Amino acid sequence: MNIKSLIRQDLKGMKAYSSARDEFEGAASIFLDANENPNNNGVNRYPDPLQSSLKNRIRQWKKVSSDKIFLGNGSDECIDLLIRLFCTAGKDEVAAMAPSYGMYAVSSRINNCRLREILLNEDFTFPTKKIISESKGAKLLFLCSPNNPTGFSIPESDVVEVLEAHQGIVVIDEAYIDFSSQRSLLSLLSEFPNLVVCQTLSKAVGLAGIRLGMLFASEEIVAWLNKIKPPYNINQLTQEVALNYLEKIELVEKQTKEIIRERSKVTASLGQFPFIKKVFPSDANFILARIDEANDLYDYLLSKGIVVRNRSTQTLCENTLRFTIGTEEENNELINALSNYRK
């Protein structure tokens, strides 16, 4: 596939902004190039625009070379930049499965690109053939696995079928992959030049507050994203916190196992309440459930100080609530509150 032919035509001759820190090679000890305040307070200098130390750490962790890694201010920035890179406003279209993560629609709208929402099956399984036929001609196709808000993973063989058929970019959003029983599709990167995989430090890794999204793709796509990104999109504090935290990755693995254990417990408990009509099996750190009166239960839980996500207005999600898995104590409180509902 010719990736260059998919890039927005008007960007092709663009010269990227060249920041002060991009312009010299070698080592220096006196920096009089970037109009910073010279008094050292730890953050008086602009950060590394290409985050080379952090990418080096992520390279070791994910076994993907640094030139195939792009970092964004959250995955949300990666989603937005992908649309900007490939789609001409008012002309090109984006496709995404529905229901799914809301930012595919929001970013498409902001960039004035029409979004084709392709409905999942009623039971939230993945309609491979329909996805292939209805995404034809869309420059970008967003697939989310495990999917938010359904919690379902897309079988790898189905994604491969889509990757083989789609004549544009296929973005697999793996924000919840660490909770999944399926493996990441990172290993398919070298096979499919049209594959982009997005992951984030906001979920299992526990760093939602620092805003760091990771995008993995061909060197070519990553080089284009580097060209169009804001020069210092990942701030110094984020780079430092992420680097330090990734040294403690065993802690994350332990926490992830605990969350998965709690997910089984909460799934079983939710299934026992007569007002919960269906608990959807989840491969993520949340559980979607169909309730007889979702708005009423939502208000009741709020009155007990517990906030969950009401997904009832989403496509195919009438009368559903999404429960994030909390700590053991928080989950027990949730179940306790549910036990007292309508009593």
Tell me the closest approach of the beta carbon of residue 99 to ligand PLP, in angstroms. Answer: 11
Tell me the closest approach of the beta carbon of residue 158 to ligand PLP, in angstroms. Answer: 18
Tell me the closest approach of the beta carbon of residue 179 to ligand PLP, in angstroms. Answer: 12
Q: Which residues bind ligand PLP (CB under 6 A)?
A: 74-76, 101, 144, 148, 173, 175, 200, 202, 208, 213
Going from the C-alpha of 152 to that of each of 78, 144, 201, 277, the distances in angstroms are: 22, 9, 20, 18
> Which residue of this chain has its Cβ atom nearest to ligand PLP in the complex?
74
Distance of CA 335 to the CA centre of its chain: 29
> What is the full DSSP assignment across 143-205?
EESSPTTT-PPPPHHHHHHHHHH-SSEEEEE-TTGGG-SSPPGGGGTTT-TTEEEEEESSSTT
Q: Within 13 Å and on the Cβ side, how many CA atoms surround 8?
A: 22
Helix-strand-coil percent breakdown of the chain, rounded to 5? 40, 15, 45
Q: Residue 47 or residue 146: which is nearer to ligand PLP going by CB?
A: 146
Tell me the closest approach of the beta carbon of residue 148 to ligand PLP, in angstroms. Answer: 4
Tell me the closest approach of the beta carbon of residue 38 to ligand PLP, in angstroms. Answer: 34
3-class DSSP assignment, residue 209: helix
d(CA 167, CA 159): 14
